[in-house]
Protein backbone atom coordinates (compact mmCIF):
# COMPACT_ATOMS: atom_id res chain seq x y z
CA UNK A 1 0.00 0.00 0.00
CA UNK A 2 1.60 3.21 -1.09
CA UNK A 3 -0.81 6.06 -1.00
CA UNK A 4 -3.92 6.63 0.94
CA UNK A 5 -6.43 8.86 -0.73
CA UNK A 6 -9.31 10.17 1.22
CA UNK A 7 -12.00 10.57 -1.26
CA UNK A 8 -14.25 13.43 -0.35
CA UNK A 9 -17.86 13.22 -1.27
CA UNK A 10 -18.89 16.11 -3.43
CA UNK A 11 -19.92 19.22 -1.58
CA UNK A 12 -23.55 18.54 -2.17
CA UNK A 13 -23.26 15.15 -0.63
CA UNK A 14 -21.43 16.30 2.48
CA UNK A 15 -23.65 19.28 3.16
CA UNK A 16 -26.96 17.61 2.60
CA UNK A 17 -27.79 14.29 4.18
CA UNK A 18 -26.55 11.52 1.91
CA UNK A 19 -29.01 9.51 -0.06
CA UNK A 20 -28.78 5.84 0.74
CA UNK A 21 -29.54 3.40 -1.97
CA UNK A 22 -29.65 -0.19 -0.89
CA UNK A 23 -30.57 -3.50 -2.33
CA UNK A 24 -32.88 -5.63 -0.30
CA UNK A 25 -34.57 -8.86 -1.17
CA UNK A 26 -38.09 -9.77 -0.20
CA UNK A 27 -39.88 -13.02 -0.56
CA UNK A 28 -42.93 -12.71 -2.70
CA UNK A 29 -45.76 -15.08 -3.36
CA UNK A 30 -45.79 -15.83 -7.06
CA UNK A 31 -49.11 -16.59 -8.70
CA UNK A 32 -48.88 -18.35 -12.05
CA UNK A 33 -52.34 -18.36 -13.59
CA UNK A 34 -53.33 -20.77 -16.31
CA UNK A 35 -55.95 -20.61 -19.00
CA UNK A 36 -58.87 -20.28 -19.03
CA UNK A 37 -58.54 -17.40 -16.61
CA UNK A 38 -62.11 -17.41 -15.31
CA UNK A 39 -61.73 -21.03 -14.17
CA UNK A 40 -58.45 -20.19 -12.56
CA UNK A 41 -60.06 -17.28 -10.70
CA UNK A 42 -62.77 -19.65 -9.43
CA UNK A 43 -60.08 -21.91 -8.00
CA UNK A 44 -58.41 -18.88 -6.47
CA UNK A 45 -61.71 -17.87 -4.83
CA UNK A 46 -61.95 -21.41 -3.51
CA UNK A 47 -58.52 -21.08 -1.93
CA UNK A 48 -59.36 -17.68 -0.50
CA UNK A 49 -62.58 -19.10 0.99
CA UNK A 50 -60.61 -21.75 2.84
CA UNK A 51 -58.11 -19.35 4.26
CA UNK A 52 -59.20 -15.77 4.39
CA UNK A 53 -56.38 -13.34 4.19
CA UNK A 54 -53.85 -15.72 2.64
CA UNK A 55 -52.62 -12.92 0.44
CA UNK A 56 -53.13 -10.18 2.99
CA UNK A 57 -49.94 -8.29 3.68
CA UNK A 58 -47.87 -10.47 1.37
CA UNK A 59 -46.12 -9.11 -1.69
CA UNK A 60 -47.69 -10.91 -4.63
CA UNK A 61 -46.05 -11.25 -8.03
CA UNK A 62 -47.97 -12.37 -11.08
CA UNK A 63 -46.04 -14.75 -13.33
CA UNK A 64 -47.45 -14.72 -16.86
CA UNK A 65 -44.55 -16.49 -18.56
CA UNK A 66 -45.86 -18.75 -21.36
CA UNK A 67 -49.38 -17.49 -20.77
CA UNK A 68 -50.98 -16.55 -24.07
CA UNK A 69 -52.86 -13.40 -23.09
CA UNK A 70 -52.84 -9.90 -24.46
CA UNK A 71 -52.56 -6.51 -22.82
CA UNK A 72 -56.29 -6.15 -22.26
CA UNK A 73 -56.69 -9.58 -20.72
CA UNK A 74 -53.73 -8.93 -18.45
CA UNK A 75 -55.26 -5.66 -17.27
CA UNK A 76 -58.55 -7.45 -16.62
CA UNK A 77 -56.75 -10.16 -14.68
CA UNK A 78 -54.96 -7.62 -12.50
CA UNK A 79 -58.26 -5.81 -11.92
CA UNK A 80 -59.97 -9.11 -11.13
CA UNK A 81 -57.33 -9.91 -8.56
CA UNK A 82 -57.68 -6.40 -7.16
CA UNK A 83 -61.38 -7.01 -6.58
CA UNK A 84 -60.37 -10.04 -4.54
CA UNK A 85 -58.02 -7.86 -2.48
CA UNK A 86 -54.98 -9.46 -4.05
CA UNK A 87 -52.73 -6.55 -4.89
CA UNK A 88 -50.09 -7.32 -7.49
CA UNK A 89 -46.76 -5.61 -6.84
CA UNK A 90 -45.05 -6.79 -10.00
CA UNK A 91 -45.46 -8.84 -13.12
CA UNK A 92 -43.00 -11.41 -14.30
CA UNK A 93 -42.62 -12.77 -17.82
CA UNK A 94 -44.73 -10.16 -19.59
CA UNK A 95 -43.59 -8.25 -22.63
CA UNK A 96 -42.99 -4.58 -21.78
CA UNK A 97 -45.60 -3.67 -24.38
CA UNK A 98 -48.24 -5.45 -22.31
CA UNK A 99 -47.73 -3.12 -19.37
CA UNK A 100 -49.17 0.32 -19.81
CA UNK A 101 -49.32 3.08 -17.23
CA UNK A 102 -51.23 2.08 -14.12
CA UNK A 103 -50.07 -1.51 -14.36
CA UNK A 104 -47.65 -3.07 -11.90
CA UNK A 105 -44.01 -2.92 -13.00
CA UNK A 106 -42.19 -5.70 -14.77
CA UNK A 107 -39.98 -7.83 -12.54
CA UNK A 108 -37.01 -9.84 -13.68
CA UNK A 109 -34.39 -12.11 -12.25
CA UNK A 110 -36.57 -13.85 -9.67
CA UNK A 111 -35.10 -17.01 -8.25
CA UNK A 112 -37.28 -19.90 -7.17
CA UNK A 113 -37.42 -20.78 -3.49
CA UNK A 114 -38.70 -24.07 -2.16
CA UNK A 115 -42.45 -24.51 -2.12
CA UNK A 116 -44.45 -22.42 0.26
CA UNK A 117 -46.82 -24.13 2.64
CA UNK A 118 -50.38 -23.72 1.54
CA UNK A 119 -53.45 -23.47 3.61
CA UNK A 120 -54.79 -26.95 4.30
CA UNK A 121 -56.70 -28.41 1.41
CA UNK A 122 -58.86 -31.48 1.20
CA UNK A 123 -59.49 -31.21 -2.48
CA UNK A 124 -56.78 -31.91 -5.01
CA UNK A 125 -54.26 -29.10 -5.01
CA UNK A 126 -55.23 -26.99 -7.93
CA UNK A 127 -53.21 -24.02 -6.90
CA UNK A 128 -50.24 -22.62 -8.69
CA UNK A 129 -47.08 -24.31 -7.64
CA UNK A 130 -44.66 -21.49 -7.36
CA UNK A 131 -45.35 -20.39 -3.84
CA UNK A 132 -42.06 -19.42 -2.39
CA UNK A 133 -41.41 -20.14 1.20
CA UNK A 134 -39.71 -17.99 3.74
CA UNK A 135 -36.11 -19.01 3.86
CA UNK A 136 -35.22 -19.92 7.38
CA UNK A 137 -31.99 -18.90 9.01
CA UNK A 138 -30.84 -22.48 8.78
CA UNK A 139 -31.34 -22.61 5.07
CA UNK A 140 -29.47 -19.38 4.66
CA UNK A 141 -26.61 -20.84 6.66
CA UNK A 142 -26.26 -23.79 4.33
CA UNK A 143 -26.04 -21.62 1.25
CA UNK A 144 -22.63 -20.70 -0.11
CA UNK A 145 -21.45 -17.38 1.24
CA UNK A 146 -19.39 -16.47 -1.77
CA UNK A 147 -19.35 -17.09 -5.49
CA UNK A 148 -16.48 -17.09 -7.94
CA UNK A 149 -17.10 -16.15 -11.56
CA UNK A 150 -14.42 -17.20 -14.00
CA UNK A 151 -15.58 -15.09 -16.91
CA UNK A 152 -15.69 -11.40 -17.69
CA UNK A 153 -18.96 -9.70 -16.79
CA UNK A 154 -20.27 -8.24 -20.05
CA UNK A 155 -22.07 -4.99 -20.61
CA UNK A 156 -25.73 -5.36 -19.70
CA UNK A 157 -25.17 -8.30 -17.39
CA UNK A 158 -25.79 -8.03 -13.70
CA UNK A 159 -24.61 -10.30 -10.96
CA UNK A 160 -26.79 -10.09 -7.87
CA UNK A 161 -25.62 -12.05 -4.86
CA UNK A 162 -27.10 -10.73 -1.61
CA UNK A 163 -25.81 -13.75 0.31
CA UNK A 164 -22.16 -12.75 0.39
CA UNK A 165 -18.94 -12.05 -1.49
CA UNK A 166 -18.48 -12.00 -5.25
CA UNK A 167 -15.13 -12.73 -6.87
CA UNK A 168 -14.68 -12.15 -10.59
CA UNK A 169 -11.65 -13.57 -12.36
CA UNK A 170 -11.89 -11.22 -15.33
CA UNK A 171 -13.09 -7.72 -16.04
CA UNK A 172 -16.40 -6.01 -15.38
CA UNK A 173 -17.42 -4.12 -18.51
CA UNK A 174 -18.87 -0.68 -18.83
CA UNK A 175 -22.60 -1.09 -18.39
CA UNK A 176 -22.33 -4.23 -16.27
CA UNK A 177 -23.10 -4.34 -12.57
CA UNK A 178 -22.39 -6.40 -9.50
CA UNK A 179 -24.54 -6.20 -6.41
CA UNK A 180 -23.18 -8.18 -3.50
CA UNK A 181 -24.21 -8.54 0.11
CA UNK A 182 -20.55 -8.79 1.03
CA UNK A 183 -17.28 -7.70 -0.52
CA UNK A 184 -16.48 -7.67 -4.25
CA UNK A 185 -13.13 -8.80 -5.62
CA UNK A 186 -12.31 -8.17 -9.26
CA UNK A 187 -9.17 -9.65 -10.77
CA UNK A 188 -9.33 -7.50 -13.85
CA UNK A 189 -10.47 -4.05 -14.87
CA UNK A 190 -13.56 -2.64 -13.19
CA UNK A 191 -15.33 -0.49 -15.77
CA UNK A 192 -18.92 -0.98 -14.70
CA UNK A 193 -20.70 -0.47 -11.41
CA UNK A 194 -20.30 -2.30 -8.15
CA UNK A 195 -22.47 -2.17 -5.06
CA UNK A 196 -20.94 -4.01 -2.13
CA UNK A 197 -22.56 -4.60 1.25
CA UNK A 198 -25.91 -4.04 -0.41
CA UNK A 199 -27.93 -5.59 2.40
CA UNK A 200 -26.54 -3.32 5.08
CA UNK A 201 -22.98 -4.50 5.54
CA UNK A 202 -20.77 -1.51 6.20
CA UNK A 203 -17.71 -3.74 6.58
CA UNK A 204 -17.85 -4.79 2.93
CA UNK A 205 -15.01 -3.75 0.64
CA UNK A 206 -14.34 -3.49 -3.06
CA UNK A 207 -11.08 -4.66 -4.57
CA UNK A 208 -10.04 -4.41 -8.18
CA UNK A 209 -6.92 -4.68 -10.30
CA UNK A 210 -7.70 -1.69 -12.47
CA UNK A 211 -10.08 1.02 -11.34
CA UNK A 212 -12.19 2.53 -14.11
CA UNK A 213 -15.57 2.20 -12.45
CA UNK A 214 -18.70 4.11 -13.41
CA UNK A 215 -20.23 3.91 -9.96
CA UNK A 216 -19.27 2.41 -6.65
CA UNK A 217 -21.35 1.87 -3.55
CA UNK A 218 -20.77 0.32 -0.16
CA UNK A 219 -23.71 -0.15 2.17
CA UNK A 220 -25.77 2.31 0.18
CA UNK A 221 -23.20 5.11 0.19
CA UNK A 222 -22.38 5.65 -3.42
CA UNK A 223 -19.91 7.51 -5.50
CA UNK A 224 -19.92 8.40 -9.16
CA UNK A 225 -16.91 8.14 -11.44
CA UNK A 226 -16.47 11.88 -11.65
CA UNK A 227 -16.25 12.23 -7.87
CA UNK A 228 -13.36 9.81 -7.62
CA UNK A 229 -9.80 10.97 -7.15
CA UNK A 230 -8.23 10.99 -10.64
CA UNK A 231 -5.06 9.45 -9.26
CA UNK A 232 -6.95 6.22 -8.61
CA UNK A 233 -7.86 5.74 -12.27
CA UNK A 234 -6.22 2.72 -13.79
CA UNK A 235 -4.73 1.66 -10.47
CA UNK A 236 -5.22 -1.44 -8.37
CA UNK A 237 -7.47 -0.14 -5.62
CA UNK A 238 -9.36 -1.17 -2.54
CA UNK A 239 -12.29 0.77 -1.19
CA UNK A 240 -14.02 0.66 2.17
CA UNK A 241 -16.39 2.68 4.27
CA UNK A 242 -15.58 4.92 7.20
CA UNK A 243 -18.73 6.46 8.56
CA UNK A 244 -20.51 7.93 5.57
CA UNK A 245 -17.38 8.28 3.49
CA UNK A 246 -15.93 5.92 0.94
CA UNK A 247 -12.19 5.61 1.44
CA UNK A 248 -9.78 4.29 -1.12
CA UNK A 249 -6.17 3.38 -1.42
CA UNK A 250 -4.02 1.86 -4.08
CA UNK A 251 -2.77 -1.66 -3.63
CA UNK A 252 0.82 -2.32 -4.37
| Interaction site with another protein (CB under 8 A) | 151-152, 154-157, 170-171, 173-176, 189, 191
Please give the C-alpha separations between residue 62 and each of 34, 103, 224, in angstroms, as whole numbers.
11, 12, 35
Please give the C-alpha separations between residue 91 and each of 60, 110, 158, 163, 205, in angstroms, as whole numbers.
9, 11, 20, 24, 34
The CB-of-103 to another protein minimum distance in angstroms stands at 21
C-alpha closest to that of 93 among 76, 106, 111, 112: 106
Q: Quick one: DSSP state of residue 43? A: H
CB closer to another protein, 46 vs 151: 151
The CB-of-155 to another protein minimum distance in angstroms stands at 4
CB closer to another protein, 119 vs 234: 234
Q: Where are the alpha helices (DSSP H) in 84-195?
A: 137-142
The CB-of-136 to another protein minimum distance in angstroms stands at 31
CB closer to another protein, 83 vs 97: 97
Q: Is the dihedral of CA 240, 233, 249, 8 positive or negative?
A: negative
C-alpha closest to that of 133 among 163, 119, 113: 113
The CB-of-91 to another protein minimum distance in angstroms stands at 20
The CB-of-156 to another protein minimum distance in angstroms stands at 4
CB closer to another protein, 65 vs 136: 65
Amino acid sequence: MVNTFFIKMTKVLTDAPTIRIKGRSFLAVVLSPDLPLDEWLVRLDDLAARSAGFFLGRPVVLDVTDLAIDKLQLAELVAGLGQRNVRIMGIEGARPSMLGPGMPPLLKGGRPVSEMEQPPTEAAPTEPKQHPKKATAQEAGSQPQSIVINEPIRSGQSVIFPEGDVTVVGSVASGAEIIAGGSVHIYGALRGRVMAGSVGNSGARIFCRKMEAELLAIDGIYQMAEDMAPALRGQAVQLWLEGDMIMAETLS
